[in-house]
A = this chain, B = another copy of it.
Amino acid sequence: MSTTRSTTQREAIWGVLDAAVGPLLPEEILTVARRRCRSLGLATVYRALQRLEDEGRAARVTSGNGRVRFEVARGHHHHFECRDCERVYDVPGCLRSPRSLERTLPAGFRLEAHDVRMQGVCADCA
């Protein structure tokens, strides 16, 4: 099997995602991935991200300001959003078991997932 053009594009996008320290904006992914694929377009980035999400390899993260970011789907973790530089950082671990979270819900509600977002000022900006 030979190296296809499309594999190169997707690999560039995946590589950017995989190397990131936290979820990235599609625009940011485009900018970095263009270093490898000059002609890459934003629509392709969105399509690739959608596909990676469908395959369960990437996860969509909506931050407080409503902008969508993407990250490699690794184990469950939380996010920290810096109100100064707007970057989003991964925060490892989880507060509690899903079980105990579920106990805070009214009867009849089925819990399937959750996410925790913290806001403040990051070490770089403080």
- Asked if A105 CB lies within 8 Å of chain B CBs, one says yes
Does A38 interact with chain B (Cβ within 8 Å)?
no
Contact indicator A114/B119 (Cβ below 8 Å): yes
Copies in the complex: 2
Which of A8-16, A23-31, A61-69 is near enough to bind chain B? Answer: A61-69
Chain A, interface residues (CB within 8 Å), range:
35 or more
Output the least CB separation between A113 and chain B (Å).
Answer: 5
Within A26-51, which residues are at the interface with B (CB < 8 Å)? Answer: none
C-alpha spacing A121/B95, complex, angstroms: 22
A91 to chain B, nearest CB (A): 6
Contact between chains at B101 and A123 (CB < 8 Å)? no
Q: Are B117 and A115 in contact (CB under 8 A)?
A: yes
- Using A96-B96, A116-B116 as known contacts, list a sample of 10 further A-B pairs with CB atoms less than 8 Å apart, ordered by residue number in A: A62-B65, A62-B66, A83-B112, A89-B106, A89-B109, A106-B123, A108-B126, A110-B126, A112-B120, A117-B117
Q: What are 21 pairs between A and B in contact, CB < 8 Å? A: A62-B63, A62-B64, A62-B65, A62-B66, A80-B105, A80-B111, A91-B104, A91-B106, A92-B104, A95-B95, A95-B100, A108-B122, A109-B122, A110-B120, A110-B121, A113-B118, A114-B116, A114-B117, A114-B118, A114-B119, A115-B119
